[in-house]
Amino acid sequence: MFASEPGRRARSRLSTKSEIATKPIGEASHAAKPAPRRKAKLALVPRDAEMPAERGGMPPKIARFLETAELPSPCLVVDVDIVAHNWSELARSLPQARIFYAVKANPANEIVSRLARLGSCFDTASMGEIDLCLRHRVSPDRISFGNTIKKERDIAAAFAKGVRLYAFDSEAELEKIARSAPGSKVYCRVLMECEGAEWPLSRKFGCEPEMAADLLVRARELGLDAYGVSFHVGSQQTDLTQYDKALVQASALFDTLAERGIELKLVNMGGGFPSRYRTDVPSTEAYGTAIREALVRRFGDRQPDVIVEPGRGIVGDAGVIQSEVVLVSEKGGSDQRRWVYLDVGKFHGLAETMDEAIKYRLLTPHDGGETAPVVLAGPTCDSADILYEKADYRLPTALKAGDKVCILATGAYTTTYSAVAFNGFPPLASICI
């Protein structure tokens, strides 16, 4: 994976560190052997993270690492201490909620291991993610199968491994769960408009509230535990009022189902917690306050169980992609902008630049000098591999082929969006420190 001996040594050290982190806390040998001294217990709190001067900036530990490590390009580097800090900050801001980390955001072993030791639960979308969590000694009661589109054999496999919490949004999916995971807790996902989200979620997931009520009644008829409802206000949600709007709908469903003899217990509020890209975003504390106040406003003293499913907000700011300029060119004509081609693009993990939705910040070795407008693109032979053509990106005029460019806040939805071998390029390399 690494092109140099220093890089291989760094990876070796990190792999050893990861193996230590995945050992179960308090695990004891069954063999009788002397213990010459008592070892200190592993702490269940994160180490103090070195945070950047501003949210979403270059993490100091990553900056030092990049100065000395020789890495493949492009390569994502994630500071796992910042991941732990972000998780703990959300836990403090929403003490009544169980945090189910959305594994799809970044499934790195080091991240899952650290969050598991912090006590996190996990939202999974496939058997691959479920098995990953189980390998890190996450008990099945801390795992939800949150994808509403599941093969029946995968439902059966998850049930056999102890998973008892499932999402659905259609009668056909509900019937699969009833057959293959009898008696399980189920929650119905409801459609949301996702106003204010930079990465809105389409109508692919969720159903209308009226249908959700009928489906939850049907769940009880099928012998399942009609446990609650879920919604998602859209990824990178910057409008704090959207959670209150969703809870109005959820509260109404609780009332409707109560009239039909079903006492719902759960509101799964999904994710939406943001990373910091080119524009500022509210603090984690502000999200916690908005959600807590909305829960009181809509449910009063009959507070439900609450789940949140953060992904981007936990790992996004903790990662930086180091990339390289492949080419700087001009096209001629009336558009005087230079084209800057990086060795990372839509097919190397930057899929969220689609429609220029997520606008990452860039650092170059020439920052502070003269700048000019640019079009940014990836290296592949695909015309869709243009990152930013409409957004106003300006880069130093001194930028040239071979220069390193750091793309900030790329810890989420990059390695998991990276193609295996499009155009023969390897997938995005990744390392956790």
| Of 207, 381, 406, 432, catalytic | 381
Q: String of b and e for 83-118 (b: at least 16 CB within 10 Å)? A: bbbbbbbbbebbeebbbbbbbbbbbbbbbbbbbbbb
Phi, psi of 226 (to 5 degrees): -70, 90
What's the CA angle centered on 201, arms 200 and 202, to 5 degrees? 115
Helices 209-221 and 171-180 meet at what angle, rounded to 10? Answer: 20
Q: Check if the beta carbon of residue 213 is closer than 8 Å to that of residue 256.
A: yes
Q: CA 21 from chain center: how many Å?
A: 21
Distance in angstroms (rounded) separating the CA atoms of residues 274 and 281: 7
Q: How far is residue 104 from each of residues 1, 77, 161, 271, measured CA to CA in Å?
A: 22, 17, 20, 12
Beta bridge partners of 324: 404
Distance separating alpha carbons of residues 211 and 190, to the nearest angstrom: 9
In whole angstroms, what is the distance from residue 306 CA to residue 95 CA?
A: 10
CA neighbours closer than 13 Å in the CB half-sphere of residue 170 = 10
Going from the C-alpha of 432 to that of each of 72, 109, 115, 124, the distances in angstroms are: 14, 9, 14, 21
Q: How far apart are CA 306 and CA 197, in angstroms?
A: 21
User: Tokens for 348?
Assistant: 């190397």
CA distances from 111 to 44, 81, 258, 320 (A): 15, 9, 40, 15
- Residue 225: name the closest of 137, 119, 305 by CA: 305
**How far is the C-alpha of 74 from the C-alpha of 72, rounded, in Å?**
6
Phi-psi region of 45 (alpha: psi -120 to 50; beta: other; left: phi over 0): beta
Is 432 an active-site residue?
no
Per DSSP, the three-state class of 299 is helix
Q: Which two tokens stand for residue 410?
A: 């790329």
- Residue 216 · residue 255 · CB < 8 Å: no
Which sequence positions are flagged as catalytic? 381
